Amino acid sequence: MSIRERLSGNEAAATAMRQINPDVVAAFPITPSTEIPQYFSTFVSNGTVDTEFVAVESEHSAMSACIGAEAAGARAMTATSANGLSLMWEMIYIASSMRLPIVMSLVNRAVSGPLNIHNDHSDAMGVRDAGWIMLFSENNQEAYDNLIMAHRIAENKDVLLPLMVCQDGFITSHSIENIELIEDEKVKEFVGKYKPEHYLLNDKEKIAMGPLDVQTYLFEHKYQQANAMRNAKKVIAEVSEEFEKMTGRKYSFFEEYKMEDAEIVIVCMNSTAGTTKYVVDSLREKGVKAGLLKVRMFRPFPAEEIAKALSKAKAVAVLDKSDSVNGVGGALYTDVTSAMYVNGVNVPMVNYIYGIGGRDTTSYDIEGVYNDLMEIVKSGKVDNPYRYFGVRREK
Amino acid sequence: MEKITPNTPAEKMTIAGNIYEAGNSLNFKTGDWRSVKPIYISEKCKQCGLCFPVCPDDAIPVNKEQKREDFNYDYCKGCGVCAKVCPFGAIEMK
């Protein structure tokens, strides 16, 4: 029987890590992810896990230590947020290009400046092209479940890419909700032992890792990496299916909430999906055909599947919790719109930048978006697709 | 291990450029980075043994009699450290 608990998102992530019992955890504290290594280090002190905990002096070193450990043949994990991830940036690319399946818990927070410790997705969006698999989580349960699935995906021989599990800083990381945990033994069995094919501490095989890659070779290695990301899609689907068999909890590339006959649809990620479901339910009671598409798998991006899922909608709003500051719209919006174009789906689409720096996102805000979508359906026109809600502006 | 060349397709290359053999830096000849060249003047050399330990690469071969031989220009980058430590003027930079 699974275990009923009530945990914060950070506690949920730390619990998943305890059950995974990795060989190495190297981390540096940064709000709002600090509690994850904090809780985990108590597991280390209490002897609940066998992990070597490396208390490094910076996030650059945290990722470097994870790379070293993983290259040596160990299973390594870390956790960070915002500027911590920014400081890791150089090593983020090295981890993925060395094809080391490191797993990170990323508790999303605004990247400075101006200095702000609250939630948005600017940290994750900054590394979206770094070659990491990126899974987003609506609540503590999903953050936990995604972490339990992470190693099976990342360590698959057709993938071998690092993976980050994202959740919203404070909104889910610090709020306590009900959660259903899997028994320790079942997790251990599901995650399995890490058996890398090539690693530095293997005395049966000579190896040099991360050598100089000149003009004649680097392109091919990048192509291999891109292939691995394409392969990840299938593996994520398989692992999620196996996870469903164990827990009864279904995970797809994205969640479709009341989408069967939806005419106006919001696309978003992480905790905002919870608020949106509440609004969808209340609109449905009034007979409005509202729906939600919540992206779980952001990298690899399920372009074809999203285009298909949105093909019957009459108007779509994509919500971005990070402004790409590029003059055209947020990252999720540009990914979704290009997915639609390439797959020949033409639906009026708008983008909303919202929730920046922890700005509260209320059900009224989301209702406002659905009202705008109804207006677009009625008029058949999109005046300006690059919009905002929640920002103070002169009327 | 199959030799990887500039004609090897991506599918046949090792993951992440891993090299499954030891001592492979010998295959990477760095001598063409050099702008000045050390010249060994054997008649001035006393075989004191000060030069080869300071060579940052492997450009001063030492034989079985523990005596240095002429430079291996495949790896000498022309840094001049050997010329600086030589007490007898047996290495000249040109």
Q: What CATH number should be reported for the domain whose range is A254-388?
A: 3.40.50.920
pLDDT of residue B25: 83
* Residue A97: predicted pLDDT: 98
Are residues A9 and A139 in contact, defined by beta-carbon separation less than 8 angstroms?
yes
State the average pLDDT over residues B77-82: 96
Chain A interface disruption, residue of B3, B18, B24, most A CBs within 10 A:
B18
Using the predicted structure, report yes or no on whether residue B27 has a pLDDT greater than 90: no
For the domain B30-93, what is the CATH code?
A: 3.30.70.20
* B2: pLDDT strictly greater than 80: no
pLDDT value of position A104: 98
The model's confidence at residue B1, banded by pLDDT at 50, 70 and 90, is low
pLDDT tens sequence across A351-372: 999 999 999 999 999 999 999 9
Hey, where are the domains in chain B?
30-93
Query: Is the Cβ pair B20, A212 closer than 8 Å?
Result: no
Where do the H-state alpha helices sit in chain A?
9-20, 35-45, 59-72, 82-97, 122-126, 140-154, 184-191, 218-247, 272-285, 303-310, 331-342, 363-379
- The Cα–Cα gap between A123 and A32 comes to 12
From the list B4, B13, B24, which residue is nearest A208 (CB)? B24
Taking chain B, what is the end-to-end CA distance rounded to the nearest angstrom?
A: 41
Q: Which residues of chain A have pLDDT under 70?
A: none
Indicate where chain A has its CATH 3.40.50.970 domain(s). Answer: 3-247
* Domain A3-247 is found in CATH 3.40.50.970: yes
The ipTM, to two decimals, is 0.89
What residues of chain A, 86 to 115, have a C-beta less than 8 Å from chain B?
97-99
Let me know: does A175 contact A139? Beta carbons within 8 Å: no
DSSP sequence for A134-153: EEE-SSHHHHHHHHHHHHHH
Nearest to B17 among A160, A206, A217 (CB): A217
Reference A374, options A308, A299, A287; nearest CA is A287
Of B10, B20, B24, the CB nearest to A220: B10
Closest Cα in chain B, distance from residue A204 (Å): 11
This prediction has a pTM of 0.93
Q: Is residue B16 within 8 angstroms of chain A, CB to CB?
A: yes
One-letter amino acid at A34 equals T
Contacts of A224 in chain B (CB under 8 A): 10, 13, 15-16
CA neighbor of A165 nearest in space, from A57, A9, A61, A26? A9
Identify whether the C-beta of residue A270 lies closer than 8 Å to the C-beta of residue A166.
yes
What are the start and end residues of each CATH 3.40.50.920 domain in chain A? 254-388
pLDDT for A11: 98
HSE at residue A115, side-chain half, CA atoms within 13 A, is 1
pLDDT of residue A14: 98
Of all helices (H) and strands (E), which one includes residue B51?
helix B51-54
Mutate to test the interface with B, among A207, A213, A222 (most CBs of B within 10 A): A207
What is the rounded CA–CA span in Å between residue A221 and residue B11? 9
